[in-house]
Structure 1
Amino acid sequence: MISSNIVRAIIIAATLATTCTAEAADLTGAQPAAPAATSQSPWQIRLRALGVITRDSGHVDGVAGSDLSYSNTVIPEFDISYFFNDNIAAELILGTTYAKVHGSGSIAGLGEIGKTWLLPPTLTLQYHFTDFGAFRPYVGAGVNYTMFYNQSGKSAQSLDVKNSFGVALQAGFDYMLDEHWGLNVDAKKIFLRPDFDANVGGAHVSGKANLDPWLIGAGVSYRF
């Protein structure tokens, strides 16, 4: 027969085991759940002040020594970027501005020939460098399609600059202040040389406007 001391020992051991198991379960349940992994949104937007600085070059067909010059402007510009991964992104810039066209060289006497508004959406594919902490430089290349509208002549009776494609090159950087907000500096060179028609003194003339603008911008970035 099992002695009463052995029975008591078995009961005490079982009680201790049950108590320890319950306490361990309580401690395990008290641990906070691991936070779910979050990934940053692929979308980013920027708002910049943009200087549009054109190249003063062009000609009127058949007029020796003819040249053209254009006004420079500063405009607000908005862009949208989509990140395919940490390094590769596509950017679309949106903005509109105007250019006054002046005669130069042998046609300098025409003064201001006319004025045109232009809408130059530009799409670039970018490579972003990610090894510099908050400083995130990038380079890009892409295509521009400039639409000219609301055109008017001044010394010319009419002015019609043709819509045109151009190649765009880009370099810039974001300096991120936190996970979402950053400062941006950006420069683009667009090779844009549209044809134009005009009516000057009742005569039809045509030529090419070598705009080739620099787009120099600075502003803020927001990553969703």
Structure 2
Amino acid sequence: MKTSAARLGLTAAILATLTTAPAFAYEAGDIIVRAGATNVNPNDDSSAVSLNGSAVAGSGVSVNSDTQLGLTATYMLDSNWGIELLAATPFSHDISGKGTLAGQGKIASAKQLPPTLSAVYYFDTEGAFDPYIGAGINYTTFFSEEGEGNFTGYDVKLDDSWGLAVQAGFDVQLSENWQLNGSVRYIDIQTDATISNGTNTYTVDVDIDPTVVSMMIGYKF
């Protein structure tokens, strides 16, 4: 009970500090740049894998997660609205068989970049905690595709993707210029994958649809 009370007291103290600390409001023309860890965690789903045009019953593929350096730049149109661009160092993903293809293990790998342009809205607050929401357009380009395991040497191609992106996040103002930032996004990413050795061609439609979580430090110019 004492531990729980202490935790509640600490939480209340932190919230009180955030809501009573001096506010450093954004203004039109402010530019905010951020950098930090960004994790792409696919909520993947796929069609059955087709071999030379015939579906392999019960088959599918999965895509693993990856963490890289995420970067954002935001230009404030006024005290509430801004335009944000998300960039990152390339994410690397392994593609593995599942269902009746689970025994194949890793079948391919690829890198991707997911630049995302969003409109963001900051809610009016009186303290150092500034929550916001946003929505925009994502373009994901895939490159360095390679066959793996039993598919080493196969040609691999993943089509680029356009999709919608939504997000929610917050800034904690540390000073007039420095801040901590956290955000979570959902991005609609779909791709058609082709793996071929000239004789056998495997195709599969993959909905990657990742949850993207970032923790960053930012600076306002």
TM tier relative to shorter chain: 0.7 to 0.9
How big is each residue's C-alpha offset from its partner over 1:109-154, in whole Å with a ceiling of 9 and x where there is no partner?
A: 2211110000110111111012242111000011100000111001
- What letter matches 2:205 in structure 1? K
Residue aligning to 1:65: 58
> Relative CO higher for 1 or 2, CA cutoff 8 Å, sep ≥ 6?
2
Contact 1:114 1:158 in 2 (8 A): no
Residue aligning to 1:171: 168
Residue aligning to 2:196: 199
Task: Output the TM-score relative to the length of structure 2.
Answer: 0.80
Q: Which of 85, 110, 113 matches 1:116?
A: 110
How many Å separate the matches in 1 of 2:110 and 2:189?
A: 15
Q: Which runs of 4 or more aligned residues in structure 1 lie more than 3 Å from their structure 2 counterparts after TM superposition? A: none
SS of residue matched to 1:194: strand
How many Å separate the matches in 1 of 2:36 and 2:126?
A: 23
Q: Which of 198, 211, 214 matches 2:211?
A: 214
How many Å separate the matches in 1 of 2:75 and 2:136?
A: 14
| Structure 1 residues 201 and 65: CA distance shift in structure 2, 3 A | farther
| Structure 1 residues 43 and 137: CA distance shift in structure 2, 3 A | same
Structure 1's unaligned 5+ residue stretches are 1-38
- What letter matches 1:199 in structure 2? S
How big is each residue's C-alpha offset from its partner over 1:7-50, in whole Å with a ceiling of 9 and x where there is no partner?
A: xxxxxxxxxxxxxxxxxxxxxxxxxxxxxxxx674211011201
CA RMSD of aligned residues (A): 1.5
Residue aligning to 1:75: 68
Number of corresponding residues = 186
Q: Aligned pair 1:131/2:128, yes or no?
A: no
SS of residue matched to 2:209: coil
| Structure 1 residues 57 and 40: CA distance shift in structure 2, 3 A | closer
Larger Rg: 1
Residue aligning to 1:92: 85
Contact 2:28 2:78 in 1 (8 A): no
Task: Output the TM-score relative to the length of structure 1.
Answer: 0.79
Identity of aligned residues (%): 32
